[in-house]
Structure 1
């Protein structure tokens, strides 16, 4: 059974698991988890990972986050990051699949912080509290800082093109190592997460045209090559919020593999393309925006190819996978609404993504009349 066939075979199981989560019932908020952690979990975690004397502080969570993360700092020691996963939409096998993959990458020189074993020798610990299981992982802290924390200023005296190149290089390194990876515990496949049945239930019926376009998109993916050079473990959330830049060397360290899955390497490259948009989003001239993006992506691909090969025929499918990233963004937005108990609604940003897919506007509309540099990636609110 090939990768895509296996994913289709697993769709039904993935569909039922995701539905159970978004329909609520036993869900819990991030803040409630912080309160439970402070009162009940952290003392156990501190003993499991020998963190006595560490200052443990929660990191501000983003909307729809599925984990509570703590920084763990102590004078004279390297900082660590503690993650507490609390949503029930991942199996224990999938959770192990993530940390084992990270461990493999680190052991083979990959650009990731290591997973730290507990004193029991485990990469993953589970703590039961009030009929809920919390999954605990401890990581080294990635060296450097987020680009945003330095106001998107790069290394002094170094051209920004080094950063573009290194963004491609870190993904190339990741994909090169993934091509040699044989999992013990498996993560889900892309088409086991995104399938027509799940999307039909998740997305409001008022968006029938969108549903039809997403079904077409999934069908197109099912027909693609899933061979060794095209398909494997991917990060699936590549953006500057999920890596640190070492301002001494320019080295990038990638983290947050919580969404990692088996998928097409080109998906991560589509995220890499999207990562360049912010540098030229305020430019009113579409011709100049396109010129910049061509130069940016060519530089990033040169970095990628310094680690692993990618054929031009593969890169020709980039517009398709940019649309796939839009699908992921749309699905994630509706999932967050369901988790938070909100009525489905479309703001300007979501309406923009939907418009691009419904009207077959390529490249996120970035070179199209729909895009306005004074109101980037916004469109009139869609009424559901």
Structure 2
């Protein structure tokens, strides 16, 4: 009964569990990046992203000063920590201290001795009483305290990133690089793949073997020689240069992928078109291209994602001035350099940069598997 048509394999649940695990593993960092992009730097430092909906404990430093009331046993100063500017956003007080070595060594509600004499009591609601033998000076008493801060989400990070100096230009530059660098190799590879799949000429097998060999060659080996060639022919570091560089680096995979797909198309269709008098160009444009759309879309996804997220090739083949930077270089050389500790800004910039690739992937993902599996079965 195991091979009857319509009978589900016994291990279907294993496949579903594996797919679910892979999806969850992929979603976890993406969701974390999204949540972090709506938090400020202090919240990110205080708690991980999965605790963002809950209050987090943060440490504050301030000075308490003011006019004390003279009493029989000294001078009494009272007030509320929440009224101090440094305690903005603080909630329930959990601990406090008067020295930097032990900033939260005393539980809220307890009383501690001050270094210069006197006592200090800080309550969980933020009220405090400081009793000193002499009138407090204008400088005030240093106070450290830990407080629960309610969760807060803001769009300020997106405003900083989207309206940052040069970010809009970097976004346009990324499209300027990515779109031609995706279309040009597809056009060239489509013609080459048809020739290698359906046209007979000497050396075709060697060319196919050479293309397969180029798939394993690291592009880093060609960066310096290719840049020298660009300088010699006059295109140097320019948009034309990076278009041709991405075209050269993407052609082996494009030709290999499209050739396998075209070789798996029904031979009767091609022979019938030739009997009817169609030329190779007519067969290619009217029959092969429409039937090869899944493979074309599959490579377009790969090439678009690779070009959009590229940093190395952009650094080598684009001008060094900031007006020509793409988003990856803007984030790496500008935001990461000037705001290396501001994780909220970096998370927002990273999420903005991956938003377009994610949209492209989900819009065209149904063609991805069809294009990758093309030619694997007959």
Q: Of Structure 1 and Structure 2, which has the larger fraction of its residues in helix?
A: 2
Q: TM-score, normalised by structure 2?
A: 0.20
**Greater Rg over alpha carbons, structure:** 2
Q: TM-score, normalised by structure 1?
A: 0.20
